[in-house]
């Protein structure tokens, strides 16, 4: 195929951003801001085309090719020399514009496209500086897509940093009361990871003479006397740990997770959706694509530690979520944020197991967690928009007032606690199956999360939907009837929620469409890692 589809899917948001920036802001004769609507629909249109492109990729993706460390079996590859310079002291710098897809990245690209498009709809509720918001939104979209597609470490790094900036502004400008704190916390945390990544990247370049991620996986390429040469050296361990922590911050795992609750609580609804839906996956993806296969010896050395980190995150996150009903403001978003720590811990545990079931489960869990948590945050957004509070104690008895909403919410909640028939179940079970083979005791302890998860989720469900409706919500949400004509979810919200709900159930019953994408790649990934594992 000569059509550079990956470039298009990555840089289409940039085009959209330029168009949006060129639209003059102004009011029509009635004082209505015309440009707002136009900007919103342009953003929706751009992300929709992106989704179509992602679907084209999905249907044309050849499941027989494995990728991972074999450059010949990557698909939709675009590779051109980008920077080629002879620099004093450093030597020859060769950086390539190298995009490509394999089974590890296809699910993530699909997820990014789905979430970026659907999160546009809750964004319609943003009224402050609309132009700036959607420009930043699309830039963020570009960065995320690029991270999952880049196969050149330098390019990866640029996309990684590129995504950081708009996120900072999206939280810092359009966020809640403590937005500055949350934004700067997010920024600094991620930056710490980036700095380490940069150092390791330079070291790797010196050791291998390339920025090409696939070539770096070839241990034969490392010059024997270079800093990362050899196998099992201290420097390699340090470099691996640096990369791992850099990515782990993003996942996030205990103890690097505290930026997440703050970022979620302060971020506006659609940004929470993107944060939980896509951004958290970049960390685990980075481990899968870069840290583990480039330093397999160091992975083997730290494997048990990583499994422990996964287990601790799972149980700790679940306990913190459960503890939300005892301390603090009982913020709904905080509860979900901690449940994310718990659910992403499963990804780490699955990866640490390095078994086909575990790794497949981990990638599928990344996908499912993206979908399910996106749903949960949108659901919080729905009542927050109406009641202007997210306090769990402020509600009760909503089931009667909003039956359709309750139905959708029930699907999301049950998906989050891993109910069979929903996609989350399959990934959780796969992770457990894989992890049990490698770490039986840790896995059973992690299994506590299925009890704790039911505890906090059902508690939240009960708090919000069951019991009696409080006095103050007895009337309609919006007595003027301008913003909300009915009390239940409106069409715009349903457009975003229903597809996610359908996806959750469909993949829960028939997970093959997504699992097939990764099967080959996971197998060759395991093959790649196997020689160093005992």
Partner 1 sequence: MNHDLILQLGLIILLAPLLSFVVNVFFGHRLQRRSGWVGTAILGIEVVLAAIVAFGKLALNGDLPTVQTTYEWFVVGHYQVKIGYGIDNIAAIMLLVVTVISFLVHLFSTIYMEGDRRYPKFYAFLGLFTFSMLGIVLANNFLMMYVFWELVGISSYSLIGFWYEKDSASNAGKKAFITNRIGDLGFLTGILILFATYGSFMFDDIYAGIASGALPFASPAMLTLAGVGVFMGAMGKSAQWPLHVWLPDAMEGPTPVSALIHAATMVAAGVYLITKVFFMFTADALTVIASIGTITAFVSATIAITQVDFKKVLAYSTVSQLGFMVMALGTGGYTNGFFHLVTHAWFKAALFLAAGSVIHALHHAMHQLHDHHSDPQDINNMGGLRKTMPWTYRTFLFVTLALAGIPLTSGFLSKDGILAGTLAWAHLAGGWHWIVPVMAFSAAGMTAFYMFRLTIIAFHGEPKTPIAARTHENKLPIVLPLVVLSLLTFWFVYSPNPIDASSGWFHQRVVQPQTAVPAAYQWDFLIAADGHGSNALQHATHHFHTLAMILSLLIAGSGIALAFIIYQYKLVSADKLAQRFRRLHTFSYNKWYFDELYQATVIAFVMGTSKAMAWFDNVVVDGIVNLSAAFTRLAGKITGIFDHVVIDGLVNLIARLTGIFGAGLRKVQTGRIQSYIVFVLLGLLVLFYFFV
Judged by the rule CB under 8 A, the positions of this chain that interact with partner 1 are: 185, 188, 254-255, 257-259, 316, 319-320, 322-324, 326-328, 338, 355-357, 360-361, 397, 399-400, 407, 414, 419-421, 425-426, 429-430, 432-433, 436-437, 440, 443-444, 447-448, 450-452, 454-455, 458-459, 462, 465-468, 510-512, 515-516, 519, 522-523, 526
Contacts of 122 (CB under 8 A, 6+ apart): 269, 270, 273, 378, 381, 493, 496
> Which residue's CB is nearer to partner 1, number 189 or number 240?
189
In the complex, the smallest distance separating the C-beta of residue 523 from partner 1, rounded to whole angstroms, is: 6
Where residue 230 falls (left for φ over 0; alpha for ψ -120 to 50; beta otherwise) is: left
> Which residue's CB is nearer to partner 1, number 270 or number 501?
501
> Which residue's CB is nearer to partner 1, number 85 or number 451?
451
> Which residue's CB is nearer to partner 1, number 277 or number 424?
424
Which of 340, 172, 342, 335 lies closest to 266, judged by CA?
A: 172
In the complex, the smallest distance separating the C-beta of residue 429 from partner 1, rounded to whole angstroms, is: 8
Which of 515, 517, 522 lies closest to 68, judged by CA?
A: 522
Give the integer Cα–Cα distance in Å for 481 and 488. 13
In the complex, the smallest distance separating the C-beta of residue 362 from partner 1, rounded to whole angstroms, is: 12
234, burial (CB in 10 Å: exposed 0-12, middle 13-18, buried 19+): exposed
> Which residue's CB is nearer to partner 1, number 109 or number 522?
522
> Which residue's CB is nearer to partner 1, number 144 or number 251?
251
In the complex, the smallest distance separating the C-beta of residue 349 from partner 1, rounded to whole angstroms, is: 13
Q: Where are the alpha helices (DSSP H) in 466-529?
A: 491-509, 512-529
Paired tokens of 185: 């916390």
> Which residues pair with residue 97 across a beta bridge?
80
Chain centroid to CA 436: how far?
25
What value does the CA radius of gyration of the chain take, rounded to a whole number of Å?
23
Give the integer Cα–Cα distance in Å for 169 and 184. 10
In the complex, the smallest distance separating the C-beta of residue 343 from partner 1, rounded to whole angstroms, is: 16
Phi, then psi, of 97 in degrees rounded to 5: -90, 100
In the complex, the smallest distance separating the C-beta of residue 254 from partner 1, rounded to whole angstroms, is: 8
474, burial (CB in 10 Å: exposed 0-12, middle 13-18, buried 19+): exposed
User: Within a 10 A sphere around the Cβ of 457, how many other Cβ atoms?
Assistant: 25
DSSP 278: I
In the complex, the smallest distance separating the C-beta of residue 455 from partner 1, rounded to whole angstroms, is: 6
In the complex, the smallest distance separating the C-beta of residue 267 from partner 1, rounded to whole angstroms, is: 17
Which of 431, 522, 424, 508 lies closest to 63, judged by CA?
A: 522
> Which residue's CB is nearer to partner 1, number 208 or number 313?
313
> Which residue's CB is nearer to partner 1, number 209 or number 447?
447
Helix (H, G, I), strand (E, B) or coil at 198: helix
> Which residue's CB is nearer to partner 1, number 232 or number 513?
513
In the complex, the smallest distance separating the C-beta of residue 221 from partner 1, rounded to whole angstroms, is: 28
């Amino acid at each position: 195929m000569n059509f550079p589809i990956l470039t298009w899917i990555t840089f289409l948001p940039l085009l959209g951003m330029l168009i949006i920036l060129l639209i003059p802001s102004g009011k029509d004769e009635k004082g209505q801001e015309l440009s707002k609507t136009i900007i919103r629909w342009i953003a929706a249109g751009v992300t929709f085309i992106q989704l179509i492109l992602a679907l084209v990729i999905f249907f044309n993706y050849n499941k027989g090719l494995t990728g991972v460390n074999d450059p010949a079996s990557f698909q939709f590859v675009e590779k051109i020399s980008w920077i080629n310079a002879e620099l004093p002291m450093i030597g020859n710098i060769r950086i390539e514009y190298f995009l490509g897809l394999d089974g590890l990245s296809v699910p993530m690209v699909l997820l990014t496209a789905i979430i970026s498009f659907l999160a546009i709809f809750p964004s319609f509720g943003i009224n402050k500086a609309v132009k700036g918001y959607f420009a930043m939104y699309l830039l963020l979209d570009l960065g995320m897509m690029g991270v999952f597609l880049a196969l050149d470490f330098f390019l990866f790094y640029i996309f990684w940093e590129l995504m950081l900036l708009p996120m900072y502004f999206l939280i810092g400008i359009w966020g809640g009361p403590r937005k500055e704190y949350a934004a700067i916390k997010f920024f600094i945390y991620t930056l710490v990871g980036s700095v380490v990544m940069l150092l390791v990247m330079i070291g790797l370049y010196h050791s291998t003479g390339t920025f090409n991620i696939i070539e770096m996986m070839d241990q034969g390429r490392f010059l024997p006397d270079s800093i990362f040469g050899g196998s099992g050296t201290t420097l390699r361990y340090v470099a691996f740990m640096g990369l791992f922590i850099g990515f782990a911050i993003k996942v996030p795992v205990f103890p690097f997770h505290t930026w997440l609750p703050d970022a979620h609580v302060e971020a506006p609804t659609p940004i929470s959706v993107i944060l939980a839906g896509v951004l958290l996956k970049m960390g685990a993806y980075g481990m899968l694509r870069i840290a583990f296969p480039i330093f397999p010896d160091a992975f083997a050395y730290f494997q048990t530690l990583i499994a422990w980190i996964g287990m601790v995150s799972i149980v700790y996150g679940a306990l913190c979520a459960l503890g939300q009903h005892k301390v603090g403001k009982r913020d709904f978003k905080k509860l979900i944020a901690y449940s994310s720590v718990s659910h992403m811990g499963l990804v780490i545990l699955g990866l640490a197991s390095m078994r086909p079931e575990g790794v497949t489960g981990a990638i599928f869990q990344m996908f499912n967690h993206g979908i399910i948590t996106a749903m949960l945050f949108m659901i919080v957004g729905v009542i927050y928009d109406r009641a202007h509070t997210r306090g769990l104690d402020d509600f009760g008895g909503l089931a009667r007032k909003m039956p359709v909403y309750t139905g959708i919410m029930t699907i999301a909640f049950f998906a989050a606690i891993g109910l069979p028939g929903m996609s989350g179940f399959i990934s959780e079970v796969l992770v457990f199956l894989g992890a049990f083979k490698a770490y039986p005791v840790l896995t059973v302890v992690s299994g506590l999360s299925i009890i704790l998860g039911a505890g906090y989720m059902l508690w939240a469900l009960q708090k919000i939907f069951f019991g009696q409706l409080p006095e103050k919500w007895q009337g309609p949400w919006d007595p003027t009837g301008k913003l909300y004509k009915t009390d239940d979810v409106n069409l715009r919200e349903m457009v975003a929620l229903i597809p996610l709900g359908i996806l959750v159930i469909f993949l829960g019953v028939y997970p093959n469409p997504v699992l097939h994408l990764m099967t080959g790649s996971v197998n060759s990934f395991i093959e790649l890692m196997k020689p160093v594992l005992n």
